[in-house]
Structure 1
Amino acid sequence: MASDSSVGNDTDDYEETSFSLFELPVLVPVTTICIVLFFFGVAGNVAVILIFRRYKEMRTTVNMYLSSMAMSDALIFLGLPSDLYRIWKYRPYIFGNFLCKFIVYLSETCTYSTIAHITTLSLERYFAICFPLKVKATITKSRVKGVILLIWLFSSLTAVPILFLFGVEHPNGTLPEETNECSYLRKAASSGLLETMAWLSTLYFFLPVFCLVLVYGLICRKLWKTARHLEGQCAATREKCHQQTIKMLAVIVVAFVLCWLPLHVGRILFAQGNVVLYEISQYFNLISMMLFYLGASVNPVLYNVMSQKHRKAVCKFLHRGPLLPPRHFSRSGRTHARKTNMAGVSSLGNFVLQLSQTSMTTLFLS
């Protein structure tokens, strides 16, 4: 979960009296940013899923992975309200033991799932580009569905230990209704489960990153070699399509690494239990929490910026709606109304696209 390490033991009188880990000047801007990310992330990822389901031309094997990953990213945001509550007031936790465990488990499962989707999709592109004659027979839609199912199943199973690590408990000698915390269980942590899960999460991140670097290196070498031997318009068009896909996936991977690396570094620091680094790690984990949710919301913007096909699908999706005029309109009246409505919606679509591109530029320049 994004802010697993943002809930911990008391360190000073301020925490004892307010049960908050941060002061108000820190909490307000962080909360505002997270709320914006929540709405953009949920809306963007749901739009990706709807576009995939609505248009047959978008139902490629690549988009099957992307729509499943959008589902994972959208589910990640179910944990954001709980994270915000815990940074404002981590005691008492009022939502119960089941919800505490379930939200942390769901977040961990979706985190693993997103990482596995990016890795599997990159491997699929590697085979499609380096072994084009075999790809049609081996990479089919039915097999991709099976792979996606296995990704979700494997992610769900590997996140199961989280259910035993997290829960609601209170310090001995205190009233539960005043000091209940949704955090790691002290008994489970002392058994080594906390450190084990921290390292498992780290392997889940760094091994795929190593795999991605290797795969994209091989892909770039293949494209560089074949670029010198292209013959015919079809071959040039195919290579151009491959290059566009690779560029989009590479940007997604870079954004994934930049947004999720601080989360895993923070988990390692937290698992070490160094009291000296406690205050520093709390602010570090606050930043990593925001980057974590940024990573879950930025992919739809990247699709929009990097993929012309996706932009066309978004425009087509925005143009759909109650555009048909009443039946008593004349033929010329219907034509005029349709043109007027299409122009208005087209302006709205262009505005949304420009806003997305501007947001993406801001993200990379900030």
Structure 2
Amino acid sequence: MDSFSLNTSFGNDTDYYEELSFSLFEIPVLIPVTIICIIMFFLGVAGNVTIILIFKRYKGMRTTVNMYLSSMALSDSLILLGLPSDLYRIWKYKPYVFGDFLCKFIFYLSETCTYSSILHITTLSVERYFAICFPLKAKATITKSRVKGIILLLWLCSLVTALPVLFLFGVEHRNGSLPEETSECKYIKEAARSGLLETMTWLSTLYFFLPVSCLVLLYGMICRKLWRTAHNLEGQHAPARERYHQQTIKMLAVVVLAFILCWLPLHVGRILFAQGSVGLYEISQYFEISQYFNLVSMLLFYLGASVNPILYNVMSQKYRKAVCTFLNQKQAWQSRASCRSDKASVEGMERSSFV
């Protein structure tokens, strides 16, 4: 589920909004947040689409690692599609004018892609562990066809486990009020009373903290292996192989760290809400504090979906070269198209003058 919608829906008594303006924040807060969101949206979508195009276009980039990363880029791009909806709801929380289907779909898409990104980064780390600690076995078992199958399985698992969200969220309005004035996209109270809300809260929490624990363990074992074998590699290509492993691990470790830091506040909020009597909103004692926590969680959540292309550029020299080649070819194509257009225009003028 998208960060802001989930936190406000999972923790707030929406009756409280009846006493507030339909906007959740003041204009001095809304304007800079809107600018930040617009920048993240366009940079994130452009960056993730570029990742997909580069990994698809250049054979040298079609490694099993990059297959996972390109699938993650697709997931991050879809997550960012929920940003305009969240931004709209910050400016105008109610009435929700986009209908019940879009309300459910945005929640479902965001939750699916959140699960997918977590599963991808965990599976990729497991693959790197086997590639470094058991290289001979990994070379025989980790093939591109198998990775494609694993990626499809990860997406299928994410799609299935997020299905309850379709029954948990929808458009409702307060009894005794006009739907066109007070309709909200939020969790359905009957579904919440049935226990589905709490179940999905804990499911999403497990989806985050179990993989994080696994990632910490895996990278600990990988670092220990690299440290022990740093001076024992043999063969002509041993130094290059060691450098490749170290560069890959550094890049993935930074990606994992960014993932944890950006998504941790969202899941902390979910845990505190799931505690019920010790929830975030009782701890804060002030509605404003909880809303600003939600806002920061939202910004970090979408930052996590848009920052990976920047990290790849910083950490991977091979990726930087591929991006430069891709952009240069694009500029050359645009230049040729412009020249053809200018030439056609000149020829047309000459024919016109001759006639």
Cα separation, 2, equivalents of 1:253 and 1:93: 35
- 8 Å CA contact 1:270–1:281 kept in 2: the answer is no
* Secondary structure class of the residue paired with 2:51: helix
In structure 2, what is the equivalent of residue 5 of structure 1? 7
**Alpha-carbon deviations, 1:43-84, whole Å to 9, x = none?**
000000000111011000000000000000000011111111
- 8 Å CA contact 2:7–2:266 kept in 1: the answer is no
Task: Choose from 51, 70, 73 the match for 2:76.
Answer: 73
Per the TM alignment, residue 104 of structure 1 is displaced from its structure 2 partner at its CA by 0.4
The 5 A counterparts of 1:159-178 are 159-178=162-181
Cα separation, 1, equivalents of 2:111 and 2:36: 22
Cα separation, 1, equivalents of 2:155 and 2:191: 26
* Secondary structure class of the residue paired with 2:231: helix
In structure 2, what is the equivalent of residue 88 of structure 1? 91
* Secondary structure class of the residue paired with 1:248: helix
In structure 2, what is the equivalent of residue 109 of structure 1? 112
Cα separation, 2, equivalents of 1:271 and 1:15: 24
**Residue 266 of structure 2 corresponds to residue 263 of structure 1:** yes
- 8 Å CA contact 1:91–1:180 kept in 2: the answer is yes
- 8 Å CA contact 1:10–1:16 kept in 2: the answer is no
Q: Which shows bigger deviation, 25-34 or 105-114? A: 25-34
* Secondary structure class of the residue paired with 1:228: coil
The 5 A counterparts of 1:1-366 are 1-3=2-4, 4-7=6-9, 8-10=12-14, 16-272=19-275, 274=279, 275-276=281-282, 277=284, 278-321=287-330, 323=332
In structure 1, what is the equivalent of residue 348 of structure 2? none
Structure 2, unaligned runs of 5 or more: 340-355
TM-score calculated relative to the size of structure 2: 0.88
Q: Which shows bigger deviation, 125-134 or 18-27? A: 18-27
Aligned length: 326
* Secondary structure class of the residue paired with 2:332: coil
Task: Return the letter of the residue paired with 2:13.
Answer: N
> Percent identity among equivalent residues?
75
Structure 1, unaligned runs of 5 or more: 330-366
- 8 Å CA contact 2:54–2:323 kept in 1: the answer is yes
Per the TM alignment, residue 231 of structure 1 is displaced from its structure 2 partner at its CA by 3.0
TM-score calculated relative to the size of structure 1: 0.85
- 8 Å CA contact 1:92–1:179 kept in 2: the answer is yes
* Secondary structure class of the residue paired with 1:229: coil
Task: Return the letter of the residue paired with 2:311.
Answer: L
